[in-house]
């Protein structure tokens, strides 16, 4: 697999990189193992200081770093710069909160001092995707580093410069040598790294097939893994919803990151009383979006990540329409250089079609009509995915039912799904297992060691 920066807006390959040799990979693994032995003895105050310095660098260099993401994956420049800023926020949040999250937990046992102590596992392999090339790395790295682990990043092969930039920021922030390293390698070499005894845990954000392979390999090696996989999030609209608000948020959520996010709203399930009006407004709003140069501040959407991404979603749309869906707007790749696909709306999605059973990773809104709240929940749960979802209703009873009965890892009411360091992130069913962010970030890659000191009734141990 080529490791290269190819501008998806023009198709031009800007820079190529040689893969690491086997000898170089082995050296990096050994460096990580040796770095961990020293790094695990650092204090929370030291780690927090380095992480705050990284946040300062992300803020100071947001324009430059954001431009690099736009060049490599085609997201709009404004969204790229905002993503870098989000990394700064995440770094500061964990610098402020990780010590409390990881503090010893006392247990009430007569005649003994008993507590749980959280200890780092060691080198963690992070296999990360291209669509949020900074944030998805930092939402793993910030808590893992605060917990005393060290990181090995296998980033997507189309974002090598972003991968190296992250390593450079953390190095300049003061983290010791070897604590965070980028591995410029192809996907075929991941399994061998998971097999290596020096790697103690694995996290992957990516597709369901990739997750199955990585999870199986990690399990075969009895290693902790966290999988954040695909999603086909439901966006439910009931009669009591504010339609202006619902439509505006529907468009924003579906086209976020040019429609390439695991938590984009993808399946719009609308009560039949308001379905016709919602469908009209949504279609008009999608048609009004401008598609073009992602560096142009007046452009709403840039290209997809690659020509292959365009070919995939184009075939999914064609097959869904051939199965009986109504095409309301879009549906044809745009002419000219670059991997551009227009905002698209499909209605009346047939059972068994790609729109029904697959994740569409691009700006395609899929519309269903629901008879009532029971039907809306049925449609929402008729998916192998279960990452996030949202429901738009002012009825407290409906809100409670959606929270209780929609099968997802996250359910937002009158707000579209997002990730933020303060709250847990992750899914159920084929959307993966484990959680990132909030308290789960640091706790995902630690050994929860039970400590029992007989003959003492002191409450809890100290903190590092």
Q: What is the pLDDT of residue 456?
A: 74
Q: What is the pLDDT of residue 464?
A: 43
**In this structure, CATH architecture of domain 3-229+431-454:** 3-Layer(aba) Sandwich (3.40)
The domain locations on the chain are 3-229+431-454, 233-413
Q: What is the pLDDT of residue 336?
A: 79
Q: What is the pLDDT along the chain (464 residues), one digit of tens a residue?
A: 689 999 999 999 999 999 999 999 999 999 999 999 999 999 999 999 999 999 999 999 999 999 999 999 999 999 999 999 999 999 999 999 999 999 999 999 999 999 999 999 999 999 999 999 999 999 999 999 999 999 999 999 999 999 999 999 999 999 999 999 999 999 999 999 999 999 999 999 999 999 999 999 999 999 999 999 999 999 999 999 999 999 999 999 999 999 999 999 999 999 999 999 999 999 999 999 999 999 999 999 999 999 999 999 999 999 999 999 999 999 999 997 999 999 999 999 999 999 999 999 999 999 999 999 999 999 999 999 999 999 999 999 999 999 999 999 999 999 999 999 999 999 999 999 999 999 999 999 999 999 999 997 665 554 44
Q: What is the pLDDT of residue 460?
A: 53
CATH class as words, domain 233-413: alpha beta
Q: What is the pLDDT of residue 164?
A: 98
CB-based burial, 324-337: b 16+ in 10 Å, e otherwise: ebeebbbbebeeee
Q: 99 an active-site residue?
A: no
- Choosing from 83, 99, 228, 407, which is the catalytic residue? 228
Q: 91 an active-site residue?
A: no
- Choosing from 72, 87, 262, 398, which is the catalytic residue? 262
- Give the pTM: 0.96
Q: What is the pLDDT of residue 463?
A: 41
């Amino acid at each position: 697999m080529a490791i290269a920066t190819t501008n998806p807006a023009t198709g031009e390959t800007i820079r190529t990189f040689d893969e690491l040799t086997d000898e170089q990979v082995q050296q990096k693994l050994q460096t990580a193992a040796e770095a961990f032995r020293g790094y695990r003895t650092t204090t929370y105050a030291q780690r927090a200081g380095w992480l705050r310095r990284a946040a300062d660098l992300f803020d100071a260099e947001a324009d430059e770093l954001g431009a690099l993401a736009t060049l490599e994956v085609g997201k709009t420049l404004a969204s790229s710069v905002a993503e870098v800023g989000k990394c700064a926020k995440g770094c500061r949040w964990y610098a402020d909160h990780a010590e409390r999250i990881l503090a010893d937990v006392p247990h009430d046992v007569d005649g003994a001092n008993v507590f749980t102590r959280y200890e780092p596992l060691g080198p963690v392999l992070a296999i990360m995707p291209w669509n949020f090339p900074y944030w998805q790395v930092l939402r793993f790295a910030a808590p893992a580093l605060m917990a005393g682990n060290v990181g090995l990043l296998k980033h997507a092969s189309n974002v090598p410069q972003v991968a190296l930039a992250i390593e450079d920021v953390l190095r300049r922030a003061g983290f010791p040598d070897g604590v965070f390293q980028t591995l410029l390698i192809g996907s075929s070499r991941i399994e061998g790294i998971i097999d290596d005894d020096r790697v103690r845990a694995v996290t992957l954000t990516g597709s369901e097939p990739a997750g199955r392979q990585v999870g199986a390999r990690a399990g075969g090696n009895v290693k902790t893994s966290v999988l954040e996989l695909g999603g086909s999030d439901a966006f439910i609209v009931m009669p009591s919803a504010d339609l202006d608000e619902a439509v505006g948020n529907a468009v924003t959520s579906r086209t976020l990151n040019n429609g390439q996010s695991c938590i984009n709203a993808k399946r719009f399930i609308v009560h039949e009383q308001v379905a016709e009006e919602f469908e009209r407004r949504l279609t008009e709003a999608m048609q009004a979006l401008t598609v073009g140069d992602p560096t142009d501040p007046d452009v709403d959407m840039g290209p997809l990540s690659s020509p292959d991404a365009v070919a995939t979603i184009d075939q999914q749309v064609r097959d869904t329409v051939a199965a009986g869906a109504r095409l309301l707007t879009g549906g044809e790749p745009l002419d000219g250089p670059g991997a551009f696909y227009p905002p698209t709306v499909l209605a009346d999605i047939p059972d068994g079609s790609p729109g029904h059973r697959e994740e569409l990773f691009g700006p395609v809104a899929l519309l269903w009509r629901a008879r009532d709240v029971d039907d809306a929940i049925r449609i929402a749960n008729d998916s192998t995915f279960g990452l996030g979802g949202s429901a738009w209703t002012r009825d407290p009873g409906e809100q409670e039912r959606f929270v209780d009965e929609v099968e997802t890892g996250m359910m937002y009411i009158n707000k579209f799904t997002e990730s933020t360091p303060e709250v847990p992130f992750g899914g159920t069913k084929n959307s993966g297992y484990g959680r990132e962010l909030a308290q789960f970030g640091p706790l995902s890659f630690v050994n929860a060691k039970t400590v029992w000191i007989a003959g003492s009734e002191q409450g809890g141990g100290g903190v590092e």
